[in-house]
Amino acid sequence: MRALDIITELNGARVENTASLAALYDAVPIGGEITLKVWRENRYIKIVYTKSVNDNRVAMNNIYIEAEQYDDKINRDTPKTNGCPDTTGSGWNLGNIQGGDWVVYKGLYFLGTPQSITVRASKDAGIANVSFWIGGRNAAEGGTLIATCQIPGLTNPQHPAYSPGAGGQAGWDTYFTFTSSAITVDMTGEQDLYMVFDTSVNINWFQFNPGGEPPEVPWDGPLYQKGDVNRNGNIDIGDARLVLQHLVGKIVLDAEQSELAKVNNGLTLTIADARLILQKLVDKIDKFPVDK
Ligand SMILES: [Ca+2]
Ligand SMILES: [Ca+2]
């Protein structure tokens, strides 16, 4: 939502002002769908999104997970939970990882699809590829790959703090955040999330990055024609009267009415708009300047 957007409807109900917007918004349950009719710059658009717990615009998908708090793992000794010297996170990590290992975090609920995953990790040398799957740990198990994240070792030139002489424990104790590939698979709903490893790496935590603004599409519902300030379906004397009353301060038009009333240049509301509405009413003009 941009600063100059005007929300005119929420789930089909007219938004009169900030208080009515808040009341309409509060009436939608968490997880419920919200359809907004929004006036943006010079056109109506439709924005559809899911109401979230902690964000009134974007689906809740910034889920944060301590890597060592998995629900299940491959049936062998590794991975293991170890103390973690990183200054962020829980003080514990997921370590002793071998190629082929996996862990699973069950029952994560996504109200939308995140953009990507930030992974807090360390490694001494080489490159680890961490794969994230939902529904299973690989395709054969019914899983869908959602993202991969490369973790270079501290002695690898791809590492942001590349230090050729700092292998071994220095590399394992130096944590950085790395960003996964973009998520393009729909993750909405409850998911079992698998993290799969191709080689050794230490993971402290990871977090899903929010999906950003909900997509916008042109408004496809009914629209009032320009000049129909009282929104009764036609141009009438009442429309001109409302504009005049607004201009002398007797009433205040709501945001949508104000847009409907700007029939002259579409930018500012003046006495010319009321005059044009009257001229259209008596068929002196067949179109408003703004419609041409
Ligand atoms: Ca941790
Ligand atoms: Ca009217």
DSSP letters of 197-242? ESS--EEEEEEEEP--SPPEEE--S--PPTT-TT-SSS--HHHHHH
Give the distance (Å) from ligand 1 centre to CA of residue 183: 23
Residue 82 resides in a domain: yes
List, for residues 175-222, the tens digit of each pLDDT value. 999 999 999 898 877 789 999 999 999 999 998 887 666 666 777 777
- Domain end residue (candidates: 209, 233, 255): 209
Give the distance (Å) from ligand 2 centre to CA of residue 261: 10
DSSP-derived 3-state class of residue 276: helix
Residue 251 resides in a domain: yes
Give the distance (Å) from ligand 2 centre to CA of residue 258: 13
Q: Which ligand is nearest to the CA of 202?
A: 1
Indicate whether 82 and 155 sit together in one domain: yes
Residues with CB under 5 A from ligand 1 (ion): 66, 89-90, 92, 204-205
Give the end-to-end CA distance of the chain in Å, rounded to a whole number.
29
Residue 88 resides in a domain: yes
Indicate whether 291 and 194 sit together in one domain: no
Which CATH number is 28's domain given? 2.30.42.10
Residue 140 resides in a domain: yes
* Token duo for residue 253: 């038009």
Cβ-based neighbours of 256, under 8 Å, separated by 6 or more: 6, 8, 14, 39, 224, 231
The C-alpha atoms of residue 246 and residue 230 are separated, in whole angstroms, by: 12
Indicate whether 37 and 70 sit together in one domain: no
pLDDT band at 56 (very low <50, low <70, confident <90, very high): very low
152: cis peptide before it, omega within 30°?
no
Indicate whether 95 and 229 sit together in one domain: no
**If you write DSSP's letter for every residue of 187-202 in order, what string do you get?**
--EEEEEEEEESS--E
Residue 238 has pLDDT above 90, yes or no: yes
Contact 229, 253 (CB under 8 A): yes
Indicate whether 99 and 196 sit together in one domain: yes
Indicate whether 68 and 150 sit together in one domain: yes
* Token duo for residue 128: 């680890």
Indicate whether 70 and 201 sit together in one domain: yes
List, for residues 107-165, the tens digit of each pLDDT value. 776 767 888 999 999 999 999 999 999 999 999 999 999 999 999 999 999 999 999 98
Residue 56 resides in a domain: no
The C-alpha atoms of residue 134 and residue 146 are separated, in whole angstroms, by: 7
Distances (CA, A) of 265 to 127, 138, 292: 60, 59, 10
* Token duo for residue 23: 């009341």
Give the distance (Å) from ligand 1 centre to CA of residue 84: 7
Q: Which ligand is nearest to the CA of 85?
A: 1
Torsion of CA 73, 149, 89, 100, to 10 degrees: 20
Q: Please report the pLDDT score of residue 218 as a whole number.
A: 77
Q: What strand order describes the sheet that includes 144-152?
A: 72-73, 102-110, 189-197, 127-134, 144-152
Indicate whether 233 and 202 sit together in one domain: no
Q: Please report the pLDDT score of residue 272 as a whole number.
A: 96
Indicate whether 121 and 237 sit together in one domain: no
Mean pLDDT for the chain overall: 88
Give the distance (Å) from ligand 2 centre to CA of residue 181: 52
Number of domains in the chain: 3
Residue 54 has pLDDT above 60, yes or no: no
Residue 171 resides in a domain: yes
Give the distance (Å) from ligand 1 centre to CA of residue 97: 14
Indicate whether 243 and 107 sit together in one domain: no
Contact 58, 211 (CB under 8 A): yes
Which CATH number is 229's domain given? 1.10.1330.10
Indicate whether 193 and 269 sit together in one domain: no
Which CATH number is 193's domain given? 2.60.120.260
- The parent domain of residue 37 ranges over 1-51
Q: Please report the pLDDT score of residue 61 as a whole number.
A: 52
Residue 258 resides in a domain: yes
The C-alpha atoms of residue 287 and residue 120 are separated, in whole angstroms, by: 61
Residue 150 resides in a domain: yes
Contact 276, 282 (CB under 8 A): no
Residue 1 has pLDDT above 70, yes or no: no
Residues with CB under 5 A from ligand 2 (ion): 228, 230, 232, 236, 239
Indicate whether 5 and 80 sit together in one domain: no
